[in-house]
Amino acid sequence: SELVSTILSQNTNDVNRDVAFDRLRSRLPTWEQVRDADVEVVIEAIRPAGLANQKGPRIQEALRLITLERGELDLDFLAAWPVEEAKDWLCAIKG
């Protein structure tokens, strides 16, 4: 959820980010649902954060990449990595 929140926070304030995040989670309660939803559903849910046409596809791309590379939507493995390696891995995700 921190990754999605970070993507939503770009070029907006905390209030709009939080509204967009809450709308996204109420409409699509799991990250798998967000990943697999029609992009227009994601875009409409996150519209309060601004730049929804860019952020929606990026969120879905990030979730797909995590699933592809890790086999699941779980970033807990990063806790065992050195901070710089974890940061590099996260920064390689477009968004």
Q: How confident is the model at residue 11 (pLDDT cuts 50, 70, 90)?
A: very high
Share of the chain above pLDDT 90, in %: 92
pLDDT tens-digit readout, 50-78? 999 999 999 999 999 999 999 999 999 99
Identify residue 70 by its one-letter amino acid code: R
Domain regions of the chain by residue span: 2-91
What architecture does CATH give domain 2-91? Orthogonal Bundle (1.10)
Query: Cα Rg for the chain, rounded, in angstroms?
Result: 13
pLDDT attached to residue 94? 80
pLDDT attached to residue 93? 86
Statement: residue 9 has pLDDT above 80: yes
Mean pLDDT over the full length of the chain: 95
